[in-house]
Amino acid sequence: MNNISQLIYLLGGTGLVAKKLKIKPSAVSNWRKLNKIPKNKLNAILSLSSQNNINTDDFLPNHNLDDFDFKILLIISGGIASYKSLEIIRLIKKANIDLDVVMTESAQRFITPLLVTSLNEKKCYTDLFSVEDESKMNHIMLARRPDLILVAPATANIMAKLANGIADDLASTILLASFSQIILAPSMNPVMWSNLATQENYKKLLERGIGFIAPDVGDMACGESGTGRFPAPKVIFDKIISNIITRKNIANQFKNVSIVITAGPTIENIDPVRFVSNRSSGKQGFAIASELSRRGAKVTLISGPVNIPFPKCANVIQVMTAHEMFEKTISQLPTDILICCAAVSDWKFVPKASATKKIDNKNKIKKTNEELLFKTIKNPDILSSIAKSKLRPNLVIGFAAETDNIIENAKSKLVSKEIDLIIANDVGENKVFGQDSNKVFFIDKNNCEEWAEQSKNAVASNLADKINKIFNTADI
């Protein structure tokens, strides 16, 4: 009997495994024959094995994470299951993964930082206002360093804080200041879990792209039973590992691919103190830059003036005006892919001089009783100029911000600008600009897909999947 056959046998046989995974028994038979489990079913098999206390190390190929530089931050919050996080630390350490640990004040009532420090052989962080820690590993560094933040156990309290943007201790501040993937493993009394407040927070966090390892159903330490049990540490560990493996697989997806992304607004000066701009926050473009960088692309982000932190990517170029954005984008050619996500001002607004109103570039325009008139000068169309140029990237993607006839307008832009794909969104009042979620239409020459409203991170991830499919299969 081969390894996979043995594992399936221990899990109850072909029929039971197929039933549990809601797949056809013939698929499981095939795995046995080929002695291989497909990647998209590995996670389910790992979970099933953990539930049955089967150590998969004996049957599945070892997780080869050695050449994968991956950093985890574990946040332990204060619940009855806090002590179980010690086993998670042990498993992560055993897998040779770089681990930092932060404990909330309540968690320290259940287990001590000394215990965590000795297990992890590293300082355990507990204090937001520590003078010593701020000078060495400050809270922003702790937030930025990890590739993944695991909160296990996650209390109802820490979920509520994250859902509502409360940052009143080290753990909650890190969670707010991080770009990393966050996964929560909630554990609490069943009534706390089913409380509408907790369920609303859960939904809010899911919508924002926070990952969850769902609590188990069963008897609780408090004597009640229902949903809220902390899953076995091994189950949590296996889910984290399979997440890492998935990331490892996509980490090289865009290796050696150069991508230029424009993001944010541009501003057009009227005089040295006044300007005309738009409401773009840069969040969607930054999310795309971050996602494609995570997948191995060499990303150059050309950003207008924004108030959000820059993502981890190869190169960031800051610009102010449409002209600067045009010049800097051109300066990055040739590139493999261009994604124009910035909301570029279509015009420059040039104040008109009159007999009584002198205008020069250096001085503020004086207020008089006379009307101030402007001449508008068209700015260059970055997307279309590059798409029609000799240095056209292999794939050119644009964003269309529309307030009416979204699909028709976007389709005509796709054709007139000669680009490959367009992501259209309705930017009517308070709809997209500055928000964390986005509802888009994904349009190419032949199709128009309507994507459900989702976080801007999720849009970025789905777009990256699409680009991967097109870029790696088509000869554009």
Ligand X SMILES: Cc1cc2nc3c(=O)[nH]c(=O)nc-3n(C[C@H](O)[C@H](O)[C@H](O)COP(=O)(O)O)c2cc1C
Residue 79 or 264 with smaller CB distance to ligand X = 79
- Cβ count near 355 (within 10 Å): 6
Q: Which of 155, 280, 290, 293 binds ligand X (CB under 6 A)?
A: 155
Mark residue 405 as left, alpha or beta (left: phi above 0; alpha: psi -120 to 50; beta: remaining): left
Stretch that binds ligand X, among 187-195, 247-255, 273-281, 439-447 (CB under 6 A): 187-195
Pattern 93-132, ligand X, x by CB under 6 A: -----------x-xx-------------------------
Q: Residue 158, interface with ligand X (CB under 6 A)?
A: yes
Span near ligand X by CB under 6 A; candidates 48-56, 155-163, 318-326, 356-364: 155-163
Alpha helices in 227-303 (DSSP H): 233-251, 283-294
85 interacts with ligand X by CB under 6 A? no
Q: Does 48 bind ligand X (CB under 6 A)?
A: no
Contact status: 156 vs ligand X (CB under 6 A) = yes
Catalytic-labelled residue, pool 222, 313, 341, 448:
222
Alpha carbon of 163 to those of 270, 409, 452: distances in Å? Answer: 40, 36, 21
Minimum distance, C-beta of residue 221 to ligand X, in the bound complex (Å)? 8
Closest residue by beta carbon to ligand X: 79
CB of 161 to ligand X, least distance (A): 7
Contacts with ligand X: how many residues (CB under 6 A)?
15
Shortest Å distance, C-beta 78 to ligand X: 3
- The beta strands (E) that lie in 35-155 are given as 71-76, 98-103, 124-125, 148-154
List 17, 46, 80, 297, residue binding ligand X (CB under 6 A): 80
**Phi and psi of 201, rounded to 5°?**
-65, -40
Q: How far is the CB of 188 from ligand X (least distance, A)?
A: 3
DSSP state of 309: P
Binding mask 425-464 for ligand X (x = CB under 6 A): ----------------------------------------
Residue nearer to ligand X on the CB measure, 107 or 343: 107
Give min distance, CB of 186 to ligand X, in A: 7
Question: Active site includes 222?
Answer: yes
Instruction: Report the nearest approach of ligand X to the CB of residue 118 (Å).
Output: 21
* 213 contacts ligand X (rule: CB under 6 A): no
Which residues pair with residue 345 across a beta bridge?
Answer: none
187 binds ligand X (CB under 6 A): yes
Q: Specify the long-range contacts of residues 423-427, CB closer than 8 Å, at least 24 apart.
A: 423/397, 423/398, 423/399, 423/459, 423/463, 424/399, 424/400, 425/399, 425/400, 425/401, 426/402, 427/279, 427/401, 427/402, 427/403
- Per CB under 6 A, does 77 bind ligand X? yes
Contact call for residues 222 and 189 (beta carbons, < 8 A): yes
Distances (CA, A) of 309 to 137, 283, 298, 370: 19, 10, 19, 42
Candidate segments 22-30, 71-79, 284-292, 387-395, binder of ligand X by CB under 6 A: 71-79
Residue 447 CB, shortest distance to ligand X, in Å, is 45
C-alpha 143/C-alpha 43 separation (Å) is 27
According to the binding rule CB under 6 A, does residue 231 interact with ligand X? no
d(CA 150, CA 454): 22
Our finding on whether 173 is near ligand X (CB under 6 A) is no
**Residue 174: what residue type?**
I
**CB contact set of 439 (below 8 Å; sequence gap of 6+):** 425, 426, 431, 432, 451, 452, 453, 454
**DSSP one-letter code for 82:** G
Cβ atoms of 337 and 257 closer than 8 Å: yes
**Angle (deg, nearest 10), helices 196-207 and 156-164:** 50
CB of 99 to ligand X, least distance (A): 19
Over the window 192 to 211, marking each residue x when it contacts ligand X by CB under 6 A and - when it does not, the resulting string is x-------------------
Q: Interacting stretch for ligand X, rule CB under 6 A, among 72-80, 299-307, 364-372, 457-465?
A: 72-80
Considering only 184-192, 231-239, 290-298, 338-346, which stretch makes contact with ligand X by CB under 6 A? 184-192
What φ, ψ does residue 367 adopt, rounded to 5°? Answer: -80, 125
Choice from 124, 149, 188, 458 touching ligand X (CB under 6 A): 188
182 binds ligand X, rule: CB under 6 A:
no
Q: Which residue has the tokens 């493993």?
A: 185
* Residue of the chain from 47, 85, 157, 438 that contacts ligand X (CB under 6 A): 157
Q: How far is the CB of 120 from ligand X (least distance, A)?
A: 18
Q: Is the peptide bond before 305 cis (omega within 30 degrees of 0)?
A: no
Helix, strand, coil distribution of the chain in percent, nearest 5: 40, 20, 40
Q: What is the DSSP secondary-structure string of 420-437?
A: SEEEEEE--TTSSTT-SE
Instruction: Pick from 28, 78, 302, 432 the residue near ligand X by CB under 6 A.
Output: 78
Structure tokens at 445: 């020459």
Active-site residues, by number, are 222
Binding site for ligand X (CB under 6 A): 77-81, 104, 106-107, 155-158, 187-188, 192
